[in-house]
Amino acid sequence: MKTAVEVSNVSMRFNLSSQKVDNLKEYFIKFIKRELKYTEFWALRNVNLSIEKGDRLGILGLNGAGKSTLLKIIAGVLKPTEGSIVVKGKIAPLLELGAGFEPEYTGAENIYLYGAVLGYPKDFIAEKYNEIIEFSELGKFINVPLKNYSSGMKSRLGFAIATIVEPDVLILDEVLAVGDAKFKKKCEAKIQSMFDKGVTVLFVSHSLPQVQKICNKAILLEKGEIIAVGEIADVSRIYEEKTS
């Protein structure tokens, strides 16, 4: 088996300052008075994880366990304080859809803009353009500025653009609340078709049944450390003991 994601010795430190110093004047006053104090907070500590190609990994843990931090590090948004990440192949983070949407632009213009944000080449977007519009079911609204869209329309467009690639690694966060029940079904079908192609999945959720439905493996995070890793059945038993 080949590994798709390799997380080695990753630690993430945040500096929590008791008062926020965000201007030069205060900074110098505090610097001279030696009042610049930070409390360190480790969101992740020495996390080692290797995910094999085709694995569907659930990430479990209570609030503040470091789940989102770990996903953001794997997606490349955050850079870890220590350690390194290797992701093989194309990664599609379906975390927060529509980052970089421009409200003044029409839906059509936003397809190119958001596609570019996600790192797609221009000809690829041009080729998939009609498919995106069709999937998002926006029809003639595609030429209306995005600021006039409903939130459902926006997330439909975001989902359609983000899932147009065939990723090797898919990152999912919680339930994808996209549009009405009918569209939700369509999204689930789309994601299922990716699963069938053998995509590697990272899935974060608080709902154990959902994780059990989707994933075959899981890790359990507590206070930034992995305390259990393995088959979904074993890890969910430990998780249930922890939460009950």
Partner 1 sequence: MKKHISNFKKYRFLLGELVKKGVTLKYRHSYLGILWTLIEPLLTMIVLTIVFGSLLHRSNDPSFPIYILSGRLMYSFFSNSTKVSMKSIRSHSSMIKKVYVPKYMYPLSSILSDYIIFLISLIVLVGVGIVLNVRPTLYLFEAIIPLIILPVMCYGIGLVLATFSVFFRDLEYIWSVALMLIMYTSAIFYPVERIIENGYGWLLEINPLYNVIVNFRNAIFGQPLDMRALELSLLYSVGFMILGLVLFYKKQDEFILHV
Cβ atoms of 171 and 95 within 8 Å: the answer is: yes
Q: Using CB under 8 A as the criterion, what x/- string covers residues 113-142 for binding partner 1?
A: x--xxxxxxx--------------------
Q: How far is the CB of 230 from partner 1 (least distance, A)?
A: 30
Tokens of 164: 């147009």
Phi, psi of 187 (to 5 degrees): -65, -45
Interface with partner 1 by CB under 8 A: which range of 69-77, 146-154, 174-182, 219-227?
69-77
Q: How far is residue 221's CA from residue 225's CA, in Å, rounded to a whole number?
A: 5
Q: How far is the CB of 26 from partner 1 (least distance, A)?
A: 9
C-beta of 111 vs 218, nearer to partner 1: 111
CA distance 205 to 210: 8
Among 98-106, 204-212, 218-226, 229-237, the segment contacting partner 1 (CB under 8 A): 98-106
87 or 211, CB closer to partner 1? 87
112 binds partner 1, rule: CB under 8 A: yes
Q: Are 188 and 179 in contact (CB under 8 A)?
A: no
Two tokens at 115? 């596609």
d(CA 176, CA 179): 9
Question: CB-wise, 15 or 244, nearer to partner 1?
Answer: 15
- Other C-beta atoms closer than 10 Å to the C-beta of 208 total 16
CA dist list (Å): 206 to 66, 185, 203, 221: 13, 21, 10, 12
CA atoms within a 13 Å half-sphere pointing along the CA-CB vector of 118: 30
218 within 8 A of 211, measured Cβ to Cβ: yes
Rounded Cα distance, 234 and 228, in Å: 9
The least CB distance from residue 98 to partner 1, in Å, is 9
Least distance CB 42 / partner 1 (angstroms): 14
Q: How far is the CB of 244 from partner 1 (least distance, A)?
A: 35
In the complex, the smallest distance separating the C-beta of residue 97 from partner 1, rounded to whole angstroms, is 9
If the CB atoms of residues 119 and 139 are measured against partner 1, the closer one turns out to be 119
> Which of these, 214, 189, 199, 132, lies nearest to 167 by C-alpha position?
199
Which of these segments, 17-25, 128-136, 174-182, 187-195, binds partner 1 (CB under 8 A)?
17-25
Nearer to partner 1, 117 or 208 (CB): 117
Applying CB under 8 A, the residues found at the interface with partner 1 are 14-15, 22-25, 27, 75-79, 93, 95-96, 99-100, 102, 104-105, 112-113, 116-122
